[in-house]
Structure 1
Amino acid sequence: MRSRSRLTVVAGVIMSVGLVVASAPAATAAPAPDATPGRNAVLHRYAADTWRSFTALVDPATGMVADNIGGDLDPADRSAYTSPTNIGAYLWSTVAARETRLISAGEARTRIAQTLATLAELEIHEASGMYYNWYDPSTGAKLTSWPADGSTVHPFLSSVDNGWLATALAIVEEQVPELAAPAGALLRRMDFGFYYNPAERQIRGGFWVDPPPGCSVAGNYRGGPDVYYTCHHYGAFNTEPRIASYLGIAAGQIPSEHYFGMFRTFPPEGCDWSWSEQRAVGQWRTYLGVRVFEGAYRYRGMQLVPTWGGSMFEALMVPLFVPEEKWGRDSWAINHPTYVRAQIEHGLREAGYGYWGFSPSNNPAGGYREYGVDPIGMDAGGYTSDQERTTVDHGYGECRPAQPPPTAYGQGVVTPHASFLALRYAPEEALLNLANLRRDFDAYGPGGFYDAVNVASGQVSRRYLALDQGMIMAALGNALAHDVLREPFSKGTMKQRLAPLMRMERFSLPRRDNP
């Protein structure tokens, strides 16, 4: 799901054993962590150091943030490419830095104004108002060749990446009144209905303006000249592309029925979906005339709605902004903390790493990789938590026999941003996990936590990624400043159009007493 095709990385550190760890949290949704003096100081220190990575990532001439930078924050080591998601992460992180008093209101305005001015000049797809996936942060030019090797880039317009930029623009419009007009103008021209396939009630992954190599589907859901859509839709519900769905529904660009057009899990009848991770449990229900299989996976005594790959950011990046657990008391309020429990259970008990938190990140051994907990992802190949790609195959009834479970896991890779995503739902466990990573590894540098740690070999990816740092800043901004980044999405059309949909749905999960 995450549109990150290329990245460089570095590494190195040592493992420790015998950690004292807290038990897994109960399956209840907690508010943002209390601002107790001791906890506040820790969170503020993390925020200050994480913000330092953004000041190094941004190009002072354009206000555009690079995709990544080396661990010593040398500007000469900034990547020569950026994306709409990265730009969005910088914008919302600037608001978070202001709200946590790391920078003044004036500095925040200056930084954001420069970025908005550059965004207004970038080449976009005019009919949809959408941005291309890769730009040169030093010039704003759309990339048609990859900076590292000169290979051809076929300019693409991603639904999820534009979703994260639109999220940031909505935050700026709400939180920076002096810049509401330019931010709103950029946001208002973005039409997420351009991605929506009414026949499938799902959105496409994106489109190309010119025919790309490989698979594509010519068409235009808004009329006008053909574009070339991805052959896939974002069909899995509990994944990060739902931010684009929410924005489209809130704007009236996508019908409300789309919310129920995505798969909670695949239906269990027959063998058509037997390639997926496991046969789900659940029941069929109908909402707004759409028949939905309210499916769930079982994992080590828990029951949850899975993500596509089993990673933390798929499940928990969206609620950094949209208060899903407040509106979905019989769905998200149960699923989010259970999902965190499952990640903790895997890291501490099933795999026995002593640490937890698995999400796409730099690979300490080089390159970029998706990490996750295989059994809580719908993809049978799954994102795995270790370098050896150890998977679990529970089978699919008579369609696919189960395989023996692994007797051991290999070199686990933990990424700190996953703990920050869990901060709302398991604050004590998240802070303990981060403290253990910092204590036992060379996992912390001048820009905060490095991107990933191999907790067996001790290798560390000593690099900072704008997106991962942006998730950390969003979590910290919310924890320290009363959910400031949720405010724009807790009212207005987002609340009017999304909250009723979330209130009506019941996931196939064990009930609990809602506070």
Structure 2
Amino acid sequence: MNRRSFLTAAATTAAAVTTATPLTAQAAPASRSDSERRLLREWFTATHRSMEAMTTELGLAADKIDVSGSGTPVPSAQTSPTNIGCGLWSTVAAAGLGVISGTTMRHRLDRALSAVERLERAHGFWFNWYDAHDGSLLTTWPETGDPIRPFLSSVDNAWLVTGLRIAAHADPSLRPRVAALLADADWSYYYTPYDPADPVAGPGQLRGGFWPDKPGKGEPTGHHYGALNTEPRMASYLGIADGSLPTDHYWHLLRTLLPGAGQEQQPQGAYADIDGVRVWEGHYTYRGRDLVPTWGGSMFEALMVTLFVPEAEWSPHSWGITHQRYVRSQIEHGLQEAGYGYWGFSPASIPEGGYREYGVDAIGMQEDGYNSLGVVTPHANFLALPQAPTEALANLRGIARAFDAYDDRYGFRDSVDVTTGRVSDYVLALDQGMITAALAQRLQPGLLQAPFRTGGFTSRVRPLLRKERFSI
């Protein structure tokens, strides 16, 4: 799309957001009027329609579709474990909200699960890229022909396991098949046990993943996922809940890097002894607001996990507060610090083509972290609905109106450069999947959270979150 007239709408939206009701400590949902519910259902229906358009005959959600033309979009050749997980929970959400029938849901879940059962795996986990149309393992990138070295990602597998657990809960007839799939998915595969004599080599954290084409476990990534407030904590929660990871793994994750380490700002805080672990309960300060940073400063790092694990409910004075302040920081960056007139920064399509990370650099630990660059993405606003419903809805309405970034066929486009008016031609399964889950949570709280409120999540994860005492 070309540049559009948006400055007047930007000023109007900024004024509406700036004067909105302040957040409360508990971030209680605003009363949902009939008109708001109708709007949210319309948005859900259109977004779910995009997920249907991304789903191949095999039953797997592809990575993306181009929605810029007038014809039926063609799903991309590739898919990932995360994309597949998004497709599963979007189907369950659609049935829960009455957009599709229970019979249709069961048919689609069965078809998708049959495809997942056919996918090549190693060490109990799924590879990063498959052909979405025939399920074959990709060794060359479809769009360029560049070689792909098959990789087992901890965070991507977490989102597929999340989707499988939601599917099994929604359709009990699938539970034996899902249990069989997950029987070999042991999260200790990614885990490096804590070594007090050498915490650098033995940090008690998860590897980013492995290339399994080497003997033994394979070749590991050179990094661990050390930051707590990032999306890989879903893998940590899953492993702690099923007993394949020790509970003290949670305390070895970093609220910030230690003082003196190279990071975005020098943290404040204090050490605390929790469950026999000496924990640095550090925080950053942004615009006078103390919070626990993410790695890059993006919205989905902080809030994607909360779509499924009720962190703010189980830890209202720690996780609940930092989530609230994180959203407020994103709002103030977009409206006041950068003066864009819009907010919501998270990894997304580059409007001109490609993909990159966007965020608020000051609330990420990485020294050369993610920058906003004037690019906002709707999924970031949907993630913020629990903390800032009035502001999020105003921002989304403004984006839709000013940039023609929404249509009732496939929902919101993936991203908008508000400095040029350029809108992405694409929608992505990951980002649309976050939108469907966020809308489901807003319209029917708990719809997708049920599998994460029982068993090990209740007995192992919840007590950890109750003990959390962020220094904020």
TM-score range for the pair, normalised by the shorter chain length: over 0.9
Alignment pair present for 1:175 and 2:170: yes
CA distance, structure 1, for counterparts of residue 239 and residue 439 of structure 2: 27
TM superposition shift of 1:334: 0.7
Alignment pair present for 1:123 and 2:120: yes
1:66 aligns with: 62
Q: Is the 8 A contact 1:34 1:479 kept in 2?
A: no
Change (3 A) 1:76 1:441: closer
Instruction: Give the TM-score normalised by structure 1.
Output: 0.86
Question: Which amino acid is 2:427 matched to?
Answer: Y
| 1:75-474 superposed matches below 5 A | 77-125=74-122, 128-198=123-193, 199-211=202-214, 225-268=216-259, 271=260, 273=261, 275-386=262-373, 412-445=374-407, 446-474=409-437
CA distance, structure 1, for counterparts of residue 466 and residue 48 of structure 2: 36
TM superposition shift of 1:333: 1.1
CA distance, structure 1, for counterparts of residue 287 and residue 443 of structure 2: 34
Instruction: Give the TM-score normalised by structure 2.
Output: 0.94
Q: Is the 8 A contact 2:79 2:132 kept in 1?
A: yes
Q: Tell me the percent identity.
A: 50
TM superposition shift of 1:49: 0.3
Q: Is the 8 A contact 1:132 1:155 kept in 2?
A: yes
Question: Which amino acid is 1:121 matched to?
Answer: R
CA distance, structure 2, for counterparts of residue 380 and residue 116 of structure 1: 41
Q: Deviations over 1:271-308 (max 9, x none)?
A: 4x1x3100001000011111111011010011100000
Change (3 A) 1:38 1:303: same
CA distance, structure 2, for counterparts of residue 76 and residue 462 of structure 1: 11
TM superposition shift of 1:415: 0.3
CA distance, structure 2, for counterparts of residue 32 and residue 181 of structure 1: 37
TM superposition shift of 1:158: 0.2
1:69 is paired with a residue whose SS is strand
CA distance, structure 1, for counterparts of residue 73 and residue 328 of structure 2: 40
Q: Deviations over 1:310-357 (max 9, x none)?
A: 000000000000000111123101111110000001011111111100
TM superposition shift of 1:34: 4.2
Question: Which amino acid is 1:503 matched to?
Answer: R
TM superposition shift of 1:29: 3.3
1:400 aligns with: none
TM superposition shift of 1:226: 3.5
Question: Which amino acid is 2:138 matched to?
Answer: L
CA distance, structure 2, for counterparts of residue 144 and residue 13 of structure 1: 40
Gaps of 5+ in 1: 1-9, 212-217, 219-224, 387-411, 510-515
2:203 is paired with a residue whose SS is coil
2:234 is paired with a residue whose SS is helix
* Higher share of residues assigned helix: 2
CA distance, structure 2, for counterparts of residue 171 and residue 122 of structure 1: 19
Q: Is the 8 A contact 1:132 1:156 kept in 2?
A: yes
TM superposition shift of 1:190: 1.3
CA distance, structure 2, for counterparts of residue 498 and residue 208 of structure 1: 29
CA distance, structure 1, for counterparts of residue 380 and residue 3 of structure 2: 20
TM superposition shift of 1:15: 2.7
Question: Which amino acid is 2:116 matched to?
Answer: L
Question: Which amino acid is 2:381 matched to?
Answer: S
Q: Which moved more, 1:308-317 or 1:483-492?
A: 483-492
Aligned pair count reads 456
Q: Deviations over 1:444-466 (max 9, x none)?
A: 13210000001110000021100
CA distance, structure 1, for counterparts of residue 207 and residue 257 of structure 2: 18
Change (3 A) 1:486 1:31: farther
1:500 aligns with: 463
CA distance, structure 1, for counterparts of residue 237 and residue 318 of structure 2: 16
Match of 1:482 among 445, 452, 456: 445
Change (3 A) 1:193 1:91: same
Question: Which amino acid is 1:90 matched to?
Answer: G
Q: Is the 8 A contact 1:324 1:333 kept in 2?
A: yes
